[in-house]
Amino acid sequence: AQKITQTQPGMFVQEKEAVTLDCTYDTSDQSYGLFWYKQPSSGEMIFLIYQGSYDEQNATEGRYSLNFQKARKSANLVISASQLGDSAMYFCAMRGGLSTGNQFYFGTGTSLTVIP
C-alpha cells in the first residue's frame, strides 16, 4: 500500500531562516515521483518541486530544495531564507506506479508559520 507520512502538524520559523519539513513514504513500486505542494489560506494547491525516484541529484527550485534519501524513503522539503509569504500548509505527495493506476497520494500536511 502507498502511504505518505508527515509527522509535523505545525512548524514555526523565523523570517530569513531555513526550515525543513519532513516527509516519509512507503511504496513497493520501483519507479515513482515525489511532489511538494503549498496551500495558502485561499485553498489553492501550488506545485513547488518534484523528485523522481531514479533522479540521482536532489531537486532544487529557487529557495526550495528536496532532500531525497531513497534508502530511508524520505523526501524532506527545505525552504531557505523563509519569507512571510511562505506561511501556509505544505503537502507531500507521491505518484505511484502502474500498480496504483498512477494515482497521487497525499500526506496530512504541515502548517508552517513564518515569524517576523
Partner 1 sequence: DGGITQSPKYLFRKEGQNVTLSCEQNLNHDAMYWYRQDPGQGLRLIYYSQIVNDFQKGDIAEGYSVSREKKESFPLTVTSAQKNPTAFYLCASSMGSGAHNDEQYFGPGTRLTVT
Q: Which of residues 69-98 bind partner 1 (CB under 8 A)?
A: 91, 93, 95, 97
Our CB check for partner 1 shows the closer of 14 and 47 to be: 47
Our CB check for partner 1 shows the closer of 42 and 57 to be: 42
Contacts of 16 (CB under 8 A, 6+ apart): 81, 82, 83
Q: Which of residues 26-55 bind partner 1 (CB under 8 A)?
A: 31-33, 35, 37, 42-47, 50, 52-53
Asked if residue 19 lies in contact with residue 82, where contact means CB atoms within 8 angstroms, the answer is: yes
64 binds partner 1 (CB under 8 A): no
Contacts of 68 (CB under 8 A, 6+ apart): 34, 51, 55, 58, 59, 74, 75
C-alpha grid cell for residue 53? Answer: 525516484
Query: Could you list the residues that contact partner 1 (CB under 8 A)?
Result: 4, 9, 31-33, 35, 37, 42-47, 50, 52-53, 91, 93, 95, 97, 101-104, 106-109
